[in-house]
Structure 1
Amino acid sequence: MGADRTSEDEKTVSLRRRLADDLRLGRLAVGLAWRASPKALVGVAVLLCAQAALTPLQLVLAREVVNAVARHTPAAHLAAAQSEVPLVGWIAAMAATLGLGTLLEPFSRTCQSLVGDRLVGFVTGELVRAANRWQGLARFEDPTFADDLERVSNQAARSGLDLMAYGTRAVLMAVSLMALCVPLIRLSPLVPFLLAAACLPLLARQFDFQTTMGSKLYLLTPQARTLTYSRDVMVGTDGAADVRLFGLGAFFRRRYDDAFASSVAELNRLRWRLTLPMCASAGLAAAAVGGVFGYATWQVATGRGSVGDLVLYGGTSAAVLSTVASLGFHIGFLPMVFAFLPSLDRVLNAPPDLPESPDPLPAPRPIRTGIVFEDVRFGYPGRDEPVLDGLSLHLRPGESCALVGPNGSGKTTLVKLLLRLYDPIAGRVLLDGRDLRDYDLTDLRRELGVLFQDFVRYEFTAGDNIGFGDVASPDRREDRRSHLLAAAERAGAADLLDRLPDGLDTQLGLSFGGRELSGGEWQKLALARAFARDCQVLVLDEPTASLDTRTEYDIFQRFAQLTKGRTAVLVSHRFSTVRMADRIVVLRAGRVAEDGTHEELMAAEGEYARMYRTQAAQYLDDLEDSGGGAADLDIPSGERR
């Protein structure tokens, strides 16, 4: 018995916690709607109340109109003027209420549309602000969080309006039901109770339908993301060339159709399973309404009521039926809204994904002792083996260091830890002897310039593409242009700007009717973006992958000049460029396998020497095709095996 009591107490606590959570989420959703458009939200509530009050009023007026007409129709002509006035008055009042209801509906829908549009825009803004608090990459690579983002985008953005609108309508419909039952008491005190009892199963079935369908839609979010991805591949620009070249359209169409058919099949099976019992409940409720109408007809026929009473009772019982059905829909919609609200709450209130020091330090300027990876271990979620496993490395100030190694050895991961896009699972990354986590993250990243291998092609102006590397600088127009042109010159993009019709002001990208660039031209701008930042650490991850051999060679001939005064980290598979770095680090299985200058590593006859010689012959052939040769690369004859 004590165990049963404990179980009941736990259920009570769980219910209270659930109600408290729902109340908090409801306040969050309605609060967002209020902040988005308070005046329009008040307008929606007022209009909904007015619309709800019109239905009982119209029924009462209809009764009076019919009674007034019935009093005059037996006569050969209408009675005196004094009897015409009440009839005209009732007709005018009835017409006014009908007209008012017709006018209120478009106003109500317009106000709801206004709130909805503003709310979606407002929540999107809040989503962007929340995303800007996430300084790392972990959340963007988490499938569970991606599901939350999908729900926020497609369902939860309007939840505040839906909660307010459907909740208000549900309350008003409940009040309307009580108001509608008042005239039925005159017919018989038992009629409202019998009618309510007959309609309750329909209310329960409607509620069950909505809540069950809402839960299923929530669970189908991963399939919805699959549909979105397959659609975007087929109709988007990023994959357009591959889809057409390799004939992938049919594949992605099948994948889309299969995912769609699977999702719809589940929903349809569920709909039919829920609809058949709902039809039976609707039949019971309709029979009850028919019974009330039949009883009212009998009362009128036996002289115990007027013709207007027949209209009133019949219309009221029919209104009760339709109101119960609508009430079930609106009440049932609320749990569906609440099902998506936790996703909205998790996204908007997600804390920063990288821990912040309560008293952060400013980034050192200048860097004095350098960057140290101290026995660092890191692995990505869902991957059994760590990418970095006990890696230790010291990057000295002003030194250019190249990272080489096979795919998966940890080069790009090391760069991401250096940029503090992730934190190590174990070990530390130190800057001038202090953990990166001790520094103010925004200030730290101002000292870091980077060009990733998968750089972004911003379809804005050429100047924007370069200037995004240093948006924090004061925007003094002439100084700014000179700064961007200097960055372009350093990246070998000056000739590209000369060829563009409006130079820095040229709109790029076909999406907005701009000038399309080649992959190498885009990469030159991305490289200029990295050089635009006045930073102490420059990270170049495959910086010349899309450039032709001659352009690549020209850039790296000036590599020492470009990185002068900066700590430079270069990731590349092209050993002819790697050898220009002050120091080369070979990674293997997440650790440092070799470390030294090009000459030292070649003399050691280790993995670096083997990889370099394997690649050298082919690279020389490419360079000669572009007009260069071995002398251009300064490759000693002993290294050309």
Structure 2
Amino acid sequence: MKMWQEQAKGQHGWQSRWQEAISQMRTIRLIGSMIWRSGPLLVVLLFAAMFVQGLIPALQLLASKQIIDHVTVGNGRISMIWAWAYAISMVFMVLLLSVQKWISKILAERSMLAINLLLLDAWEKVPGMKLYDQKKYRNRLEALQDSANWLPAQIIALSASFMTGLVSLISIVVLVGNLSLMLAIVLLLSTIPHALKQNRYAEMDWEYDKSSTEDRRRMNYAREQLLGRRAAKEIRLFGLGPFFLQLYRKKFERLFLRFEHLQKRFVRGSVLTGLLSGGVAGLGYFWIVNQISSGSVSMGDIALYLLAIFQLSKELRETSNDGVNALELWRMGHDFRLFIEAEPDIHQDPNPVKDVYGSPMTIEFNNVVFKYEQDAEANEDEDEDDTDEDEPDFDEDMDDNSYDVYMEDGAGEESEDTEQERPDREYILNGISFTIAPGECVALVGANGSGKTTIVKLLCRFYELTGGFIRMNGRDIRTLDIGELRKRISVVFQDYGKYGLTVRENVAIANVDQQDLKKMDEAVTLAQAQSFIQDLPNAYDTLLGPEWGGEDLSGGQWQRLAIARSMYRDADFIILDEPTASLDVRAEYELFNSFRKLAEGKSVLLISHRFSTVRMASRILVLQDGRIIEEGTHNQLMELGGEYAKMYKIQAEAFEHAGAEKDS
């Protein structure tokens, strides 16, 4: 029984290695085809240059032998011919190095574009939110973003160096083999332990890089807080500099300890295997000296083989190192392939329905159940991080704080990515059923984490339902074309984007295919943004965002632009998720009076913590722990005296108290 288990285990190990080898070949084919498409002629020229360059060291060794032998016998004419051949080879070496460097740079630049396009195209094929919500995907995506700009250049450079060295190695082995085949074989065998050791440490180094991504992200987060603009005011006010410095230092020290341990193992193994290959090369010199004493070789042979053994030993070590380093880079390409070949997280019906839209829309939730996919890697990390129990988890708040999109300083402070907060219950939504009739405005109210924003995400098809179904105009949402569905929905998210573009582009980005200035003016007017836009230096053409030297806006002004963006889109269904959080009560009231004109005849879902806004809805749904516990108009719910009435009275009392204090 035990023998059978060992055999089964061994067979499983071989199967696993075989599958890994197949996976590596698929990666090589993907990256190789990408480089080939970047310039077929350049690839052919690069290989030709590598081949000729690899032959030159052997040619130079042979020329040295011939020069010495013919000088010894007094044949100066032949010696000069070989001397010219040696000199020309030196010129060719310099030229080929320059050509190879030029070709490699061109290919690397083109490949960088190709690999980034592949990455972005793959991202586009994952239409849901999985890449952002789960730690394992965020870590991988960040690693890929970082390496996409340098990986192609490194792969080409190291692969070219390896191929050149391999050609050179083979040609020198042939020369040494002419003297002694056994010597050539022994020299080759002596480098195998070194190559295997290098490969093993390359694997460990790559695993270290992957496993340390999370800590590096935490380090980058701490650094961004200290150097970035987003949190600068609070960091200065609360004296948070030492706190984030300590967080950065703690993560660095943890990474360095692991790195130091890996390097110590690497040094020991490299020294031992290097001694073996160097020792064998030294024995080769003794063997040649013995041959000289016996008079069985010429003076040219002596020079050739002394130099060849030195060159062979050097090429063996350098080629094995280059091969291992190139293999490590190809392993990194493996993550690109996994990402590029990732299955979509949202299922698209093979024959999606596209003709069910029309203003207004009917929305129906029937016993909808939803829970977020478990982040297994995050749980593993938590198990490993027992020493970090006191450390706050900043990962959920990660933000790159820059580039073409940057988020409002306070946006999402009540964010139900607080529902991604993963409350202490298995299901975020548990048996949700309701209907929005054509042209009806329905409001959702409830505490943070009750499931309000998750309903919005499901309507936008950012996630797959766990159970139940959602219908739009009588059709299951899962049968609809995702792109067409999203075109018919307009949303003002509570964590709306602030784009480093012009005012015009910030509004028109909601419908890039439509350039309707009249409609833009209407949307801006309805959002009550026209007054501050006209005060900007170039009005609609003013660049926004301090990151690019543009104008910055207040939170309320940015929010009005987000509302205008939503209004600019020709949508059948409008969702307002805390759309006026940055506005005062009067501005909110005036804005909703304007919004009623735009939303007339359209289906609307409104989410707000302000009951002065909520009461404008024709019907109100009260959520608690993922369930609808109350439903009705404002007056009906107040008469019911339940949860809604309780929340309304608390807020009304707070407003009255604030007003009384202001008057006093």
| 2:209 is the counterpart of 1:209 | no
Letter paired with 1:51? Q
Aligned ranges 1:295-310 → 2 under 5 Å: 295-297=287-289, 299-300=291-292, 303-310=295-302
Q: Which residue in 2 is equivalent to 1:333?
A: 325
Contact 2:131/2:141 (CA < 8 Å) preserved in 1?
Answer: no
Distance 2:225 2:46 in 1: 40
CA gap of 1:250–1:5, structure 2 versus 1, over 3 A, is closer
Which residue of 179, 195, 203 maps to 2:171? 179
- Residue 463 in 1 paired to residue 499 in 2? no
Aligned position for 2:632: 596
Moved more, 50-59 or 528-537: 50-59
In structure 2, the residue matched to 1:450 is 491
Q: Can you give the 5+ residue segments of structure 1 that lack an aligned partner in the other structure?
A: 73-82, 628-641
SS in 1 for 2:45: helix
Please report how far the alpha carbon of residue 576 of structure 1 lies from its aligned counterpart in structure 2 after TM superposition: 1.5
Other-structure match for 1:507? 543
2:462 and 2:189 map into 1 onto residues whose CA distance is 61
CA contact (8 A) 1:218 1:339 kept: no
Mapped contact 2:492–2:562 kept (Cα < 8 A): yes
CA deviation vs aligned residue, 1:531-561 (integer Å, no higher than 9, x gap): 0011111111111111233322221233422
Cα deviations across residues 51-110 of structure 1 (Å, max 9, x unaligned)? 2111111211223344455567xxxxxxxxxx5544443333222212322232233233
In the alignment, which residue of structure 1 is the partner of 2:126?
134
Distance 1:507 1:157 in 2: 28
- Is 616-625 or 587-596 further displaced after alignment? 616-625
1:561 to 1:622, Cα distance in 2 relative to 1, 3 A: farther
Q: Which position in structure 2 is the counterpart of 1:583?
A: 619
Counterpart code for 2:546: L
SS of equivalent to 1:328: helix
Counterpart for residue 637 of structure 1 = none
Question: Structure 1 residues 363 and 541, CA, compared in 2 at 3 Å: closer, same or farther?
Answer: farther
Residue 116 of structure 1: how far off its partner (Å): 2.1
| Residues 346 and 54 of structure 1: CA distance in aligned 2, closer, same or farther (over 3 Å) | same
Deviations 1:576-620 (A, max 9, x none): 122222222211111112212222222222222222222124435
Judge conservation of contact 2:360–2:601 (CA < 8 Å) in 1: no
Q: Determine the C-alpha separation between the residues in 1 that align with 2:649 and 2:207.
A: 61
Unpaired runs of 5+ in structure 2? 375-421
Cα 1:124–1:236, aligned 2, differ >3 Å: closer, same or farther? farther
**1:622 Cα offset (Å):** 6.6
**RMSD across aligned C-alpha pairs, in angstroms?**
2.8
Identify the residue that residue 427 of structure 2 maps to in structure 1: 386
- 2:386 alignment counterpart: none
Question: Matches of residues 395-434 of structure 1 in structure 2 within 5 Å?
Answer: 395-434=436-475
How many Å apart are 1:174 and its aligned residue?
A: 4.2
Which deviates more, 457-466 or 56-65?
56-65
Asked if 1:199 corresponds to 2:191, the answer is yes
- Structure 2 residue 651 is matched with structure 1 residue 611: no
One-letter amino acid of the structure 1 residue matched with residue 629 of structure 2 = A
Structure number with larger C-alpha Rg = 1
Instruction: Find out whether 1:111 has 2:103 as its counterpart.
Output: yes
Which residue of the partner structure matches residue 293 of structure 1? 285
Q: Does structure 2 retain, via aligned residues, the 8 Å contact 1:156–1:343? A: no
Check conservation: 1:374, 1:391, Cα contact below 8 A.
Answer: yes
User: Which residue of structure 2 aligns with residue 17 of structure 1?
Assistant: 19
| Cα distance between partner residues in 2 of 1:300 and 1:343 | 55
Q: Residue type matched to 1:372 in 2?
A: E
Change (3 A) 1:21 1:369: closer
> Aligned to 1:353, what secondary structure does the other structure show?
coil
* TM-score calculated relative to the size of structure 2: 0.85
Which of 519, 524, 543 is matched with 1:483 structurally? 519
Instruction: Please list the CA deviations of residues 161-195 of structure 1 after superposition, one character each: whole Å capped at 9, or x if unmatched.
Output: 66666556545544433322333345444322333
Q: Answer yes or no: is the 8 Å Cα contact 1:386–1:590 preserved in 2.
A: yes
Which amino acid letter does the alignment assign opposite residue 34 of structure 1? W
Give the match for residue 146 of structure 1: 138
Partner letter of residue 467 of structure 2?
A
- Give the letter for the 1:568 counterpart: V
Match of 2:221 among 216, 222, 229: 229
* Residues matched between the structures, number: 612
**Partner residue of 1:636?**
none
- Secondary structure of the residue aligned to 2:497 is coil
2:41 corresponds to: 39
Preserved contact between residue 444 and residue 607 of structure 2 (Cα < 8 Å): yes
Match of 2:567 among 531, 542, 562: 531
Q: CA 1:333 to 1:370, structure 2 compared with 1: closer, same or farther past 3 Å?
A: same
Displacement after TM superposition at 1:455 (Å): 0.5
Contact kept? 2:572, 2:603, Cα under 8 Å: yes
8 A Cα contact 1:203 1:328, kept in partner: yes
Q: Structure 1 length as normaliser, TM-score?
A: 0.88
The answer to whether residue 593 in structure 2 is matched with residue 554 in structure 1 is no
Q: Secondary structure at the match of 2:426?
A: coil
Deviates more, 1:8-17 or 1:215-224: 8-17
One-letter amino acid of the counterpart of residue 625, structure 2: A
Partner of 1:573 in structure 2? 609
User: 1:324-380 deviations in whole A, cap 9, x for unaligned?
Assistant: 112321332354235333421221122322111222112534356711111111122
Q: 1:196 to 1:153 in 2, by over 3 A?
A: same
What is the rounded CA distance, in whole Å, between the counterparts of 2:9 and 2:205 in structure 1? 30
Matches of 2:171 and 2:545 in 1, distance apart? 63
TM-aligned CA distance change 1:414 to 1:207, over 3 Å = closer
Q: Distance in 2 between matches of 1:144 and 1:343?
A: 12
Q: Distance in 1 between matches of 2:48 and 2:236?
A: 54
- Contact 2:54–2:166 (8 Å) recurs in 1: no
**Residue 52 in structure 1 maps to residue 39 in structure 2:** no
- How far, CA to CA, are the matches of 2:186 and 2:482 in structure 1? 68
Give the structure 2 partner of residue 95 of structure 1.
Answer: 87
Question: Is the contact between residue 127 and residue 344 of structure 2 (CA under 8 Å) also seen in structure 1?
Answer: yes
Alpha-carbon spacing, 1:229–1:103, altered in 2? closer, same or farther (3 Å) = farther
Measure, in 1, the Cα distance between the counterparts of 2:661 and 2:529: 22
Q: Distance in 1 between matches of 2:131 and 2:492?
A: 22
The Cα shift of 1:218 comes to 2.9
Partner in structure 2 of residue 630 of structure 1: none
CA distance in 2: counterparts of 1:107 and 1:234, whole angstroms: 45
SS in 1 for 2:196: helix
SS at match of 2:118: helix
| Stretch of structure 1 that moved more, 335-344 or 459-468 | 335-344
Contact 1:202/1:324 (CA < 8 Å) preserved in 2?
no
Question: SS state of the match for residue 323, structure 2?
Answer: helix
Distance 1:146 1:88, change over 3 A: same
- CA distance in 1 between partners of 2:658 and 2:525 (Å): 25
Q: Distance in 2 between matches of 1:367 and 1:272?
A: 68
